[in-house]
Structure 1
């Protein structure tokens, strides 16, 4: 029997409808592209001349823009926004237009071509997270940038256009309304209940236990009560005051790397080779007109989290028109499979 569940963290409703799991053409093939030769890949080690000059790298040896790196960051060759653009706005009748100012970077996660994320070592996951953290620390020095989107697309249905493991960072001078709404929801919840919404979710999930996938001292991985995607997993920091990767020390990065590793391994075990997205819920990192009233309160009501979103099933007109998703896999059953492997 289907249910309509409310996703409080994202302020949205989801229809959980297991009856639709076996409808014709519900699941799509991952449609993996052929394993093209690594010699054509601009992100492989030794092909540094095929990308713009690097912005940042973790290296064992060698010089900038040469081999010897563990992770590498370059400007996106097909950037959505550019740091060189003026930060200006213009009126267009009833519309507003801003110049395309911002930053758009590609993080090459590993030199190893076509490496599935479940095959990464702990050190590789830690290097990846450390690189993301370093880019946030650097870009937030530009006081014009207030919103930072960290994400990883994998596979055709995850929106990836390169098969070599990579992530992206887009930084903008304005905060999307969807994030502002979530921030307001979290702030109002704390004002009404005396504790953060994230802490309430953590406490409830740990008490009930039936949606937990993995847990350690620092992080909890679970299938959200109102999962928007089949086999969606959310990972939340347990410690108050940890609002983004910037707030994690090296021990915290290690704990997060291990939690991600255990979760991704469970997903690959159950789903095979699947397409997915990973998103981080980074809050605003500069005070602006949009956040001036409550910016200093963010550590009290926000908590670092990331979502692993398998892209297994096609959406349709209802999802597009309503903004609500239909999830054919009950989150409690997804968590049981990922946790127990049975």
Structure 2
């Protein structure tokens, strides 16, 4: 029996339809293991000249743009926006045009040319999170940049164009409408209930105890009640952490461990799969678009990461309605992932 579930955090619906799992050609064929030949990979050590000069690197020593790094950050060669653009807008008839100001960076997650994230060590997870935090903190100093998007595309079906593990960052001088709507909803929820909407969700998940994959002292991984994608998994802070900027080193070690266990369990259950990882980073600056909620962010927001496996194709209904059809019950997904964790332990 299918169910229409409401997503409290995102104010949208998901159609959970297990019957769809059995339709012909529903699940895409898993790709073959990609070639280990990385002689032309621009993100491998020794190929630093194939990328723009680095913005940041995590290394024990050595000069910039040389081998010996643990993580490396460079401008995206095919950047959507650029930091050198003027900070201005103009009216074009009834329309408004902004110059393409912003930051578009590539974080090379590890020097190892791994095609599967379950090969990462806990230190590699820590280095990755440390680098993401460093870039957010640095870009926060540019008052022109108001929002920042951190995302990882892995595999063809998740829109990745390089097999070497990497993450992207796009910072903009404007606030996406979806961000404004979600922040204002979170503030409205807090104003009415004097309670954080994320805390309400986590309280319900712990009370139901059917969709939790694993917990640590400060983080919890679960398959959301109204998951829009099969095996979608969220990791949220259980305390007052608002952004990746708030993570200290012990927190990053702990979060890296939770991420590793979650990713390993997904690979154990799904095999080699494509996915996106999304960070829910709040706005960086207070301006006319964020002033209604900016000062309340510490009370209304919580840090989280969303892991979205890309297992099924989207059809016309999803594109027209904005409602995703998920053929795997979140409760079933969580149960399978917990079983996978036991098999890995």
TM over 0.5: yes
CA distance in 2, matches of 1:275, 1:295: 35
Any conservation in 1 of the 2:115–2:163 contact (CA below 8 Å)? Answer: no
1:140 aligns with 2:106: no
State the alpha-carbon separation in 1 of the partners of residues 92 and 317 from structure 2: 32
C-alpha distance in structure 1 between counterparts of 2:50 and 2:181, whole Å = 40
Determine the C-alpha separation between the residues in 1 that align with 2:105 and 2:278. 15
Q: In the alignment, which residue of structure 2 is the partner of 1:272?
A: 271
SS of match in other structure, 2:90: strand
Secondary structure at the counterpart of residue 129 of structure 1: helix
Q: Which runs of 4+ in 1 moved over 6 A?
A: none
* Residue 54 (structure 1) aligns with: 54
1:94 counterpart = 2:75: no
Query: C-alpha distance in 2, partners of 1:176/1:31?
Result: 34
Aligned residues: 341
1:114, CA displacement in angstroms?
2.5
1:30-58 CA distance string (max 9 Å, x none): 44584162111000011101100000000
Residue 282 in structure 1 maps to residue 281 in structure 2: yes
The alpha carbon displacement at 1:93 in A equals: 2.7
Distance in 1 separating the partners of 2:339 and 2:184: 37
Superposed, 1:80-229 pairs within 5 Å as 80-229=80-229
Superposed CA RMSD: 1.2
Distance 2:219 2:87 in 1: 38
Q: Runs of 5+ in structure 1 lacking a partner?
A: none
Aligned to 1:293: 292
Instruction: Please report how far the alpha carbon of residue 87 of structure 1 lies from its aligned counterpart in structure 2 after TM superposition.
Output: 1.8
Contact 2:34-2:115 within 8 A present in 1 as well: no
Partner of 1:21: 21
SS in 1 for 2:39: helix
Structure 1 residue 11: deviation in Å?
1.2
CA distance in 1, matches of 2:156, 2:292: 41
Which whole-Å CA distance do the structure 2 matches of 1:177 and 1:94 have between them? Answer: 19
Task: Determine the C-alpha separation between the residues in 2 that align with 1:102 and 1:82.
Answer: 5
Contact kept in structure 1, 2:31 and 2:272, CA below 8 Å = no
Q: Conserved in 1, the CA contact under 8 Å of 2:234 and 2:307?
A: yes
Cα distance between partner residues in 2 of 1:155 and 1:209: 32
1:65 corresponds in structure 2 to: 65
CA–CA separation in structure 2 for the residues paired with 1:48 and 1:161: 18
Shift, 1:115, TM fit: 4.1
CA distance in 2, matches of 1:32, 1:13: 34
Deviations 1:166-210 (A, max 9, x none): 000000001100011111111111111111000011111112111
| C-alpha distance in 2 between matches for 1:335 and 1:8 | 19
Q: In the TM superposition, what whole-angstrom CA distance separates every residue of 1:142-180 from its partner, at most 9, and x where no partner exists?
A: 000010000000000011000000000000001100011
Ranges in structure 2 where 5+ consecutive residues have no aligned partner: none
CA deviation profile, 1:215-247 (whole Å, cap 9, x unmatched): 01110000000001000000000112x110101
Aligned match of 2:257: 258
Q: Measure the CA separation in 1 of the matches of 2:43 and 2:306.
A: 25
Tell me the SS of whatever aligns to 1:135: helix
| Distance (Å, rounded) in 2 between the aligned partners of 1:30 and 1:162 | 18
* Counterparts of 1:251 and 1:36, CA distance in 2: 34
1:247 alignment counterpart: 246
Cα separation, 1, equivalents of 2:158 and 2:93: 36
Q: Contact (CA 8 Å) 2:184, 2:293: kept in 1 or not?
A: no
Query: Does the 8 A contact of 2:183 with 2:293 survive in 1?
Result: no
